[in-house]
Amino acid sequence: MRFSCQDRESRRAGALVSLSRNPGFAGIAVAAIASCLLCGCHHKPAPPERVQWPVMSTLAAVSVPASAVGELPACRDQVQVAFSEVEQHFSVFSSSSDLGRVNAAAGSSAFSLLSPDVAAVLRKALRLAEESHGVFDPTIGPLMAVWGFRGEQPLHVPDSNALAIARACVGWTNVIWNPLETNKIRLATAGMRLDLGGIAKGYAVDLAFAHLRQAGCADFMIDLGGNLRAYGEAFPGRGGWLAGIRNPFDRNLLLGSICLTNGESMATSGNYERFVELDGHHYAHIMDPRTGRPAEGVASVTVLAPSGLQCDGLSATLFILGPQDGRNFLLRSKPECEALWVPDQQPFRLVMTPGFARRFRPLPAFQRKITVLP
């Protein structure tokens, strides 16, 4: 990588990140702005061009270098096709989607047919559930619903009886595959609900990435609700795309940046994205299947991984596990991935894996707040 970035550009990025804020869209890392402002150089090349649109209950975007602005409409079209395909098959709100049909038949002895893509993603989700000992669980749907995080009722704290009923319907080991037809499954318990919201956006980014590469696109960054994946470079000769990482305690500011190269992906999960605040208590949308309650103790976690699907699933998993248990999990199961945690406590700290620390470019205010896990 060849960058000649100055601290003053980093400060400007932190100050100007609010320019791309959109109500209800807190999760996005400000990739294009960070690429432009954090890479401030002597001759100030034109910043990347970016187009965004609403999809999958969030905002999607694709960015290309200024020199390739003519390719932006075609890139957008390719990404939109991929995202629409994922939304069609993975939606938990549509009775005709793959997940809608499976959930409607929960408790039945009949098997439901999944499309090959949904089956492949579900297998990976179940593998992560196994590796994490149920910290990640694709049958989390009943808990998300009972808390109101799926929009079927207002956000609220459920009573103990409702919570117990929902918890009894959660369990990844109760997803049964048909031994004779590999794309058919059934949910063993009535009331079970698959919910791949913790991994589907990452898969959508990977699918869009594949579409752009197959179309011959050489330099781009895809962003789906803060799930990023990049290829090529934002500026000629500078080796990648800088992606900004939000400060979870002040969403208008950045903590710093990471340079994404060679198709890498980055995703951030934070307790500021969707939450309910009742009786002075802040409940995040990231559910711990072991307790049936929203995870606590972490304000945000950022994951760096080779693919969007890995990033998306790991961001929720590592949010629940916290820094030390999360670090142990990565060493045991995902050594190719790195992470940054911001504990939900004071004094303010940034806790990260050694590989993340080597690549993280903090703003000056946070340089002395970093703890690197052994």
Q: Is residue 27 part of a domain?
A: yes
278-304 mean pLDDT: 89
278-289 mean pLDDT: 81
Whole-angstrom CA distances from 298 to 195, 213, 340 are: 23, 36, 11
118-129 mean pLDDT: 97
Domain finish residue from 156, 187, 218: 187
155-176 mean pLDDT: 95
Q: With 60 as the cut, is the pLDDT of residue 8 above it?
A: no
Domain finish residue from 187, 211, 230: 187
Range of the domain at 100: 93-187
Domain finish residue from 187, 209, 226: 187
User: What is the full DSSP assignment across 84-117?
Assistant: HHHHHHH-SS-TTSHHHHHHHTTT-SS-EE--HH
pLDDT confidence of residue 163: 96
Mean pLDDT (the chain) is: 87
Q: Are residues 293 and 353 in the same domain?
A: yes
Q: Are residues 233 and 357 in the same domain?
A: yes
Q: Are residues 79 and 113 in the same domain?
A: no
Q: With 50 as the cut, is the pLDDT of residue 213 above it?
A: yes
Q: Are residues 241 and 262 in the same domain?
A: yes
**Tokens read off for 28:** 């996005």
Q: Are residues 292 and 222 in the same domain?
A: yes
Q: Is residue 192 part of a domain?
A: no
Q: With 90 as the cut, is the pLDDT of residue 113 above it?
A: yes
pLDDT above 70 covers a percentage of the chain that reads 87
Q: Are residues 170 and 34 in the same domain?
A: no
Q: Which of 61-65, 94-98, 182-186, 357-361 has the lowest mean pLDDT?
A: 94-98
**Tokens read off for 147:** 């808390």
Q: Are residues 75 and 205 in the same domain?
A: yes
Q: Which of 29-38, 288-297, 320-329 has the lowest mean pLDDT?
A: 29-38
Q: With 60 as the cut, is the pLDDT of residue 17 above it?
A: no
Q: Which of 67-81, 83-97, 198-212 has the lowest mean pLDDT?
A: 83-97
41-62 mean pLDDT: 87
46-56 mean pLDDT: 95
| End-to-end Cα distance, the chain | 26
Q: What is the CATH number of the domain that holds 170?
A: 1.10.3980.10
CA distance 44 to 56: 35
Q: With 90 as the cut, is the pLDDT of residue 105 above it?
A: yes
Q: Are residues 99 and 211 in the same domain?
A: no
pLDDT confidence of residue 52: 96
Name the burial class of residue 105, with classes exposed (0-12), middle (13-18) and buried (19+) by CB atoms within 10 angstroms of its CB. middle
User: What is the full DSSP assignment across 128-194?
Assistant: HHHHTTTSS-TT-HHHHHHHTTTSSS---PPPHHHHHHHHHT--GGGEEE-SSSTTEEEESSTT---
* pTM as predicted: 0.87
The amino acid at 215? A
Q: Are residues 366 and 233 in the same domain?
A: yes
Q: With 60 as the cut, is the pLDDT of residue 4 above it?
A: no
CA distance 302 to 210: 23
Total structural domains within the chain = 2
DSSP for residue 331: H
